[in-house]
Structure 1
Amino acid sequence: MNLPFMDIFKDWAKDYDTAVEGHDEQYHEVFVEYEQMLDEVALHVEGTVLEFGVGTGNLSSRILKGHPLIAIEPSPEMRQIAIDKLGIEVQEGDFLRYPDFSQVDTVVSSYAFHHLKDSEKETAIRQYVGEWGHPKFVLLDTMFESPASRQDIIDWAKANSYSDLVEDLNREYYPYTTTIRSMLEANGYNVMMTQKNKFVWLVVATKYRGGITHENI
């Protein structure tokens, strides 16, 4: 994960939970149905779960109710909040640099995979397949269907004077849905995708076993 994002995490840590609760007008649409989306993500995980970018631990708390969890977070500030909230070990690392784990059945991430450039996303997927033999992927993140839809969102944010959101949209590596689908399918996955709000898509990918290679949830 690129080091420049560490400063963003430092600033986000103290305000993140307030934002996801809908109290920050600029990011309200980003987090519409946030609690329900995390509940849905938790329903899709299987076996031993590796969560990258646990943030303040909101998804982690749900996963822990039914699954062994390996928690990874690069931000010291967010990691400490998650440790205090969850009462478990949260290890330092990111999508590409992390300790060795012998078994991972599901790789999960919410609002974090976009911190990787597309080439890094592809590297991460290949790396996990090589290490754990096609773990299930469950990703919840901001994505766009096309350059036009991305520009529409930027124009909407500008029209509402959401300057911080505009900065995020222009700086971070939000992928196109077709890009994520292609990366996963090229590595042997069936891919199911559904849009959950104006910004966020849910991606569930399982090892390809023949038949239809993708569909919408």
Structure 2
Amino acid sequence: MGREFVEIFDEWVHTYDESVNGNDEEYKDVFLKYNEILQAVAEAAIGPVIEFGVGTGNLTKKLLERDLEVVGVEPNQAMRKVTAQKIPNLTVVDGDFLEFETPIFPQSFVSSYAFHHLTDVEKAQAFQIYAEKLSTGGKVIFADTVFDSEQSKKEMIAFEQARGHINLVEDLNREYYTTVPKLKELITKAGFTVNLSKMNNYVFLIEATKI
């Protein structure tokens, strides 16, 4: 993920689980159907798996429940500590979407609520890297906020502004939320087929398969 956002998670680490469980009214719509979204990612994955942005380990647990071999990649030290407490035997390395170790030969790359920390140029670079590391049939399964168009993004920001959701509006303006057409373009150019399924008003399940 974009390293410029790493320090933000020093604050999020203490409240993240509360927010994703629907206890933060401002982010309630973003995390609507959170467990269902994570389950969809986990069910689409094939092992071994590299998970980017393990955070507090919520997606990791669902992957492990499927008996998949998982290596976590997490750039934030505080998040790595939380994950180590929750899942003591998990291997978690310091890294991000673009620079990471591969102690296993991955068949899937997965992530939830993190890919928007990369610019569109960086997203394209990331998928080129994944294409090099995956064999044919290998998968990338990300759940992330994506907008149908730039216009729909502007409308959503205006909607949240009117609701007084200042922190969410700040996030939407600061980070690199892309659009469905742009994301499909950069993924297919990297040599994948891709399907996007809308999970809530913010989040799409992105399932890409290497050709």
Structure 2 length-normalised TM: 0.95
Structure 2: runs of 5 or more not aligned: none
- Establish whether residue 98 from structure 1 lines up as the match of residue 110 from structure 2: no
The aligned residue for residue 127 of structure 1 is 129
Q: Percent identity?
A: 38
Task: Encode CA deviations 1:184-204: one digit per residue, 9 max, x unaligned.
Answer: 111221111111101000011
Amino acid in the other structure paired with 1:203: I
User: How far is 1:90 from its partner?
Assistant: 1.4
The aligned residue for residue 112 of structure 1 is 114
Q: Distance in 2 between matches of 1:120 and 1:138?
A: 17
Structure 2 residue matching 1:32: 3-state secondary structure: coil
The aligned residue for residue 211 of structure 1 is none
Choose between structure 1 and 2 for higher RCO, CA contacts under 8 A separated by at least 6 residues.
2
Work out the number of aligned pairs and report it: 208
Structure 1: runs of 5 or more not aligned: 209-217
The aligned residue for residue 165 of structure 1 is 168
Deviates more, 1:41-50 or 1:80-89: 80-89
User: How far is 1:102 from its partner?
Assistant: 4.9
Hey, which bits of structure 1, 4+ residues long, moved more than 4 A? Answer: none
Q: Distance in 1 between matches of 2:111 and 2:50?
A: 9
Amino acid in the other structure paired with 2:84: I
For 1:1-217, list aligned pairs within 5 A. 1-65=1-65, 66-87=67-88, 88-133=90-135, 135-208=138-211
Structure 1 length-normalised TM: 0.92
Q: Distance in 1 between matches of 2:173 and 2:40?
A: 29
Amino acid in the other structure paired with 2:25: E
User: How far is 1:79 from its partner?
Assistant: 1.0
CA RMSD of aligned residues (A): 1.2
Q: Distance in 2 between matches of 1:81 and 1:110?
A: 17
The aligned residue for residue 215 of structure 1 is none
